[in-house]
Amino acid sequence: MGASKPFRQQLRLLPVVPAVLLLLLFLAAPVLWSFHASFTNAALTGRNARNPAWTGLDNYERLLTDSAFPASVLLTVVFVVASAIVGQNLLGLLIAGLMTRARKPVSAVVGTAVVAAWVLPEIVAAFAAYAYFSKDGTLNQLLAGAGWSGADWLYAFPMVAVVLANIWRGTAFSMLVYRAALADVPQDISEAALMDGASGWQRLVFVTLPLIRSSIATNLMLVTLQTLAVFTLIWVMTAGGPSNTSTTLPVLAYQEAFKFGDIGYGTAIASMLIVLGLVFGIAYVRLLKGDKR
């Protein structure tokens, strides 16, 4: 090759530059600006619009006294745990597991149905879910057919509706991850366990799951982070209502920043969202470190 070794080593990292440039300019810089704005009283209108002043930790103190914020954090955690960690994750695993046992045509058809909900643009999925959970929507139609009376889901149980809608929309991702992971599981170990007398359940928990442990952790991390950012689905279905009962952090940040024009406060909320993401992220990284090669 001819070039000196250190030069070649530096050059090796060169391909990263375009991505890093894009990330720095369009992602890192705005995030830093937002973080800085959370320490000011920046606003879209009013006296502080053109000349925001530094207010230090005022916005963050307000977070603690504002009753909407802790409620929103709780709702966000509930949303993430219920729809991503439990819902999408387990359902995806279940579907992938069933697919290893089912006939190929059935697997193909069901796989397509599950993925269709994921491929659909978010607003179409949100609208379809809105229609489904409406008082005169399909869910109540089904329940009536079974003899039960349905509730007005979007009004009485908004979190249930958005959680189920998010599970419907995002399970495909987990399903694909687990399908790939399960396909790599060597069948001989599982069959050896079968011959030793282990039941299906025991085989699952003690043989299969440990083998795909890193996939589980990775999948959990990815679906958690993606679910934390969900905005359009909730906004279209319930707009965070009624009475803020489905206002997760992204919805709250949007309301504060754009409905009230309070950029400072809105970005403070967004910063807290990132902190929440970091908390989840660090937990998963610890989990992953467990069996790094």
Partner 1 sequence: MHRPAKILMALLSAAVLLATSACSPEQPAAENRVLKIVYQKTDSFTALDTLFKDAKKEFEAANQGTTVELQPIEANDDDYGTKLALALRSTETAPDVFYEDTFKVRSDVDAGYLLKLDSYLEKWEDWKTYNEAAKAAGTGDDGGIYAVPLGTDTRGIWYNKKVLQKAGIAVPWQPRNWDEILDAARKMKAADPSVVPFNMYAGKASGEGTVMQSFYELLYGTDSELYDQQEKKWVVGSQGFTDSLAFLKTLYDEKLAVTPAEALDANVWKKVFGEWLPQGKMGAVVEGSYSPSFWQKGGSYEWDGYTEDMGVARFPTQRGQEPGGVSMSGGWTLAVGADSAHPDQAFQFLTTALNKKNSLAFTVASSQIAVRSDVAAEPEYLAANPFVKDVSELVSVTHYRPATADYPRISSAVQVATEAVITGALSPEAAAEQYDKTIRDQVGDAKVLQK
Partner 2 sequence: MTTTERTARQAAGGRLTPPKRRPRSTPADAALLLIGACFLLPLLWLVLASLDTNAGYQTRLPEDPSLTNFAAVLTPELLLRPLWNSLLLSAGTAAVTLLAAVLAAYPLSRFQSRFNRPFLYSILCGTCLPITAIMVPVYGLFVQLRLLDSMPSTVLFMAATALPMAIWMTKNFMDTVPLSLEEAAWMDGASGLTALRTVVLPLMRQGLGVVFIFVFIQTWGNFFVPFILLLSPSKQPASVSIFSFFGQHGAIAYGQLAAFSILYSLPVLVLYVLVARGAGGSFALSGAMKG
Among 200, 210, 242, 290, binds partner 1 (CB under 8 A): 242
Sign of CA dihedral 154, 64, 253, 263: positive
Tell me the one-letter amino acid at 220.
Answer: L
Q: Between 160 and 193, name the residue whose CB sits nearer to partner 1.
A: 160
Binds partner 1 by CB under 8 A, chosen from 156, 180, 229, 275: 156
Q: Compute the least distance from the CB of residue 46 to partner 2, in Å.
A: 15
What character string, x for contact with partner 2 (CB under 8 A) and - otherwise, covers 195-214? -------------------x
Q: Which is nearer to partner 1, 154 or 249 (CB)?
A: 154
Residue at token pair 């439990």: 86
**Do residues 118 and 169 make contact, with C-beta atoms less than 8 angstroms apart?**
yes
Return the residues of window 113-142 that contact partner 2 according to CB under 8 A. 113-124, 127-129, 131-132, 134, 136-138, 141-142
Q: Which does 239 bind (CB under 5 to 8 A by kind): partner 1, partner 2, none?
A: partner 1
Rounded to 10 deg, the angle between the 122-133 and 138-145 helix axes is 40
Residue 84 interacts with partner 2 (CB under 8 A): yes or no: no
Query: Among residues 83 and 171, whose Cβ is nearest to partner 2?
Result: 171
Of 84, 248, 253, nearest to 159 (Cα)?
248
Q: Using CB under 8 A, list all residues that contact partner 1.
A: 2-3, 11, 14-15, 17-18, 21, 43-50, 65-66, 135, 152, 154-156, 239, 241-243, 258-261
